[in-house]
Structure 1
Amino acid sequence: MKRLLNYLIIGVLIISCNQQKSKTPKNNEKTLTAKDFLTARLDSIQKNGKLIGFGVAMVNENGVLYENGFGFSNNKTKEKYTKNTVQHIASVSKTLIGISLMKAKELGKLELDNPINDYLPFKVINPNYPNETISIRHLATHTSGINDSDQYMNKAWYLTPNQDLSNVRTDYPAQQLNPNDSKVPMEDYLKEYLVKNGTYYDVNNYIDFSPGERYNYSNIGATLCALIIEKATGMPFDVFTQEHILQPLGMTSSGWSLEDIDISKHSRLYRNDYSLLPFYSAITYPDGMLISSSSDMAKYLTELVKGYAGKGTLLTKESYQELFREQLDEENFDGRDDTNPYNGDYSPGLFIGHSAKGYVGHSGGDAGVGTWMYFDKNTKMGRYIVINTDMGNDNRAKELEYYAIWDLMDEYFEKLKAEKEN
């Protein structure tokens, strides 16, 4: 799903910015502060466009520079989307696996280059390379050879219980939303997916490259890493992240399930045609189901920027250096996109990536969700966007708006710089 956001070109960025400028109110723009200017322009994008609701946050290593919400969290009731509105953030969630992995290493519970089978209650073997060892680092850099087949896309997601389904669309083309009674424990699902003769085992669950040889983005591999953290630390992954990430950063509106958050603040999610999607979760929840607000994610992104600058609080300086260190070489890829400034697949660290243009972070996409979280490693300034509306491959207008939001945040950084100089 993440790749739905990664293959857009620079031309789209330029076109989008020009299109949105033509829609922006011009009255008194010269007298607006940088913050008011950004708010007015973002509000104009929402009102004139096709995104039902979205949140944004901007930070540097000293803290939050801007956070806000626009449009509606509920299109029927017209409840406002605010900086405190929560929704799941898709694959940006994987960055918490990376932080957790390094924290577990600091606690002496695991080593990155140890075989994964040292920690698992079942054996994971790529049938194409049965004598090759898969390490934890291979999982964290998406080079394990574990693949997301149809058995993942069709089985991983399920509807949450006790909800009215009379006015929602439960069908979704890219990921199947299954009945609640189809869910199984994460460990059981992974075993049945990865072990030969398992219920969800398929020859396509592994690629024909040896461990460490080829980059192949894998949600299943990420979830398996979360399970290894559980086994190594003796704590459920959601509890471990709550203790070592969410609580220390004061992310009080965040959690991994509807039971962990204030559901009254949860945005509804919408398909490409604006029909309502149901609430859903995933058996493989660590790979994309963190529920959070723009305000909480601003705290998290600030910590990542601090960590990159050697001033983080969650991990040691050395652990952050390893987290962000570019781990792969050109030979690990079957071609790379060096034109997209925000393509974290270009050069991975540990569940976080570097683009070819100097940005570090992660993006995400699920049914009714799009997210971007990146910071500029030179300026130490970061941006986060979360939307509650499918962009969809058949509606480039939404893509244009998404990129226009991102570009306006760039303008805001420049205006802040000018205001400071004046």
Structure 2
Amino acid sequence: MRFLIMLFFCSPFLAQNMETSLEHICKENQLMGLAVYTFSSTTEKVYAVGYRNEAQKLPITPETKFRIASISKAFTALGLMKLYDKKMFQLDDAISDYLNFKVENPNFPGVPITFRMLLSHTSSIQDGAGYDAFLASTYNETPSPSVSSVITPTGKSFTSDMFMNYKPGTYFTYCNFNYGLIGTLIEKISKQRFDIYMKNEILNPLGITATFNLQDIEDIQTIGTIYRFDEKGWLPNKDDFKGIKPSPSDLNNYKVGNNAVFFAPQGGLRASALDIGKFIKYLKNEGKTAKILSKKTIQLMKKNQWTFTGNNGDHYNGFFKQYGLGLHQTNLNTSDLIYDPDFFGNFIGHAGDAYGLISDAYFSEKQNFGFVVITNGCLIPFEKGKNSSFYKFEEEIFKLVCEDFIKKTSKVK
């Protein structure tokens, strides 16, 4: 399954060991493929194993872009926080003040829902039954419906379970629609279409070619297909373009600030492992690699906003124990362990899971180290991890890349 590897400042012997180990993990866990990125103070590496397209036998390469699922939320959060940095809103402002309709939990009238709550998933909004109908309308109706249609009681897609029976700001529940609202607020405040704003203000300054708009991809063959497996074999589940770029959507009637869910700010960014690596490296170095946010605002993003105390949130089988402003904080408890908290401290970043793709992007608070892991499918159901809420293959890769960093760090010392 060996295809291509891109390395910077690392020995061929070490690279061979790492690549061989990743091939073994890929084969043992019956994955379609892997893209793995790591960085330290002296090295930056990308490893690629397996296929980006099984039918065409196209290998994953360092340039392969995937629809990276919820890691997209961290990018979207950065986009919103740039507007915060420009003092265009305050975190504890009511979002209703920036929209043309009121967003309010019917169970708690008069309690504002704020930017901080959306970013930290404490808004009391959840992906209720109406959310799927709203998504279908978003992609099948022209023009797309307003986000108000699913979040206000008079909206055609609204269902009462779009809100939880918890006071806004008091309970964590992971919610995709929070970030659909954030994307729409970015449009409202910036007066720019979400994908264009993100490209010009976030992605281009980071020096990456990731995009929320498929039409920005010059070579459609660089997109990795996402797979599931059934009795008929490998089943393409997302982005199986067969070398043909889809026709562009008709955006003539697109209304800025109406419904940015169209561009999937919650999970639709297409990016390579290297693209994501530059993003987490930017956050780790607190803005030294690109001029986007102030150091103070990056530190605010990384600051914890919610901590699980036993009954103040849905922790998803122990996966979510702390959350910042668009950033997951982990490696603090047995259930969310990545590797050796005494050495690495807290890991900050985000994970993703959609259509058969699993993705991770985290950096250590204590060490100058971070990593990205992406797989585009598994022959069998993903096996639960032995030591945490991560999957088994994730635990194996985390151990591999973390021990590699520790080994090299000890040699330097």
Unpaired runs of at least 5, structure 1:
1-30, 159-177
How far does residue 59 in structure 1 lie from its aligned partner after superposition?
1.5
Computed over aligned residues only, the root mean square deviation of the Cα atoms, in angstroms, reads: 2.9
Q: Indicate whether 1:266 and 2:244 are aligned.
A: no
Amino acid at match of 1:347: Q
Whole-angstrom distance in 2 between the partners of 1:335 and 1:257: 33
Residues 410, 91 of structure 1: alpha-carbon distance in 2 compared, 3 angstrom cutoff: same
Partner AA of 2:312 in structure 1: D
Kept in 2: contact 1:67–1:298 (CA 8 A): no
| Greater relative CO, 1 or 2 (CA 8 Å, sep 6+) | 1
Over 3 Å counting, the alpha-carbon distance change for 1:104 and 1:221 in structure 2 is same
Q: Which amino acid aligns with 1:372?
A: D
> Residue 384 of structure 1: SS of its match in structure 2?
strand
Aligned-pair distance for 1:196? 1.2
Aligned equivalents of 2:42, 2:267: Cα separation in 1: 25
1:277 matches 2:256: no
Q: Secondary structure at the match of 1:361?
A: strand
Determine the structure 2 residue equivalent to 1:301. 280
Distance (whole Å) between structure 2 residues aligned to residue 391 and residue 109 of structure 1: 47
- Point out the more displaced range, 359-368 or 389-398: 389-398
Separation in structure 1 between the aligned mates of residue 134 and residue 403 of structure 2, nearest angstrom: 42
Aligned with residue 372 of structure 2, among 360, 371, 384: 384
Aligned counterparts, 1:232-381, within 5 A: 232-252=189-209, 254-261=210-217, 262-273=219-230, 274-279=234-239, 283=262, 285-307=264-286, 313-330=291-308, 333-334=311-312, 343=319, 345-355=320-330, 356=332, 357=341, 358-381=346-369
Query: What secondary structure sits across from 1:209 in the alignment?
Result: coil
Identity %: 26
Per the TM alignment, residue 392 of structure 1 is displaced from its structure 2 partner at its CA by 7.0
1:276 alignment partner, SS class: strand
Q: Distance in 1 between matches of 2:133 and 2:398?
A: 32
Equivalent residue of 1:277, what SS? strand
Alignment CA distance shift 1:227-1:335 (3 Å): closer
Assess if the C-alpha contact under 8 Å between 1:35 and 1:412 holds in 2: no
- Aligned positions, number: 363
Match of residue 104, structure 1, among 59, 71, 83? 83
Partner secondary structure for residue 46 of structure 2: strand
Map 1:195-234 → 2, pairs under 5 A: 195-234=152-191
Q: Which amino acid aligns with 1:257?
A: N
Question: Please, which of 150, 169, 188 is the counterpart of residue 193 of structure 1?
Answer: 150
What amino acid is the match of 2:322?
S
1:349-391 deviation line (CA, Å, top 9, x unaligned): 1010212251111111111211111111111311111111158
Give yes or no for the alignment of 1:36 onto 2:33: no
> What are the superposed Cα offsets for residues 233-259 of structure 1, whole Å, 9 maximum, x if unpaired?
11122222111211111102x101221
**Contact 2:307–2:323, Cα closer than 8 Å, also in 1:** no
**AA at the equivalent of 1:244:** E
User: CA-to-partner distance for each residue in 1:262-300, whole Å, 9 max, x for gaps?
Assistant: 311011110143212243996360000000011211211
In structure 2, the CA distance between the partners of 1:333 and 1:249, relative to structure 1 (3 Å rule), is farther
- The Cα offsets for residues 43-102 of structure 1, whole Å up to 9 and x where unpaired, read as 222244411112111123x47521121100111121111111011110000011221122
Measure, in 2, the Cα distance between the counterparts of 1:72 and 1:183.
36
When normalised by structure 1's length, the TM-score is 0.78
Q: Deviations over 1:304-349 (max 9, x none)?
A: 11118x8764211111111111123555953676996xx4x31111
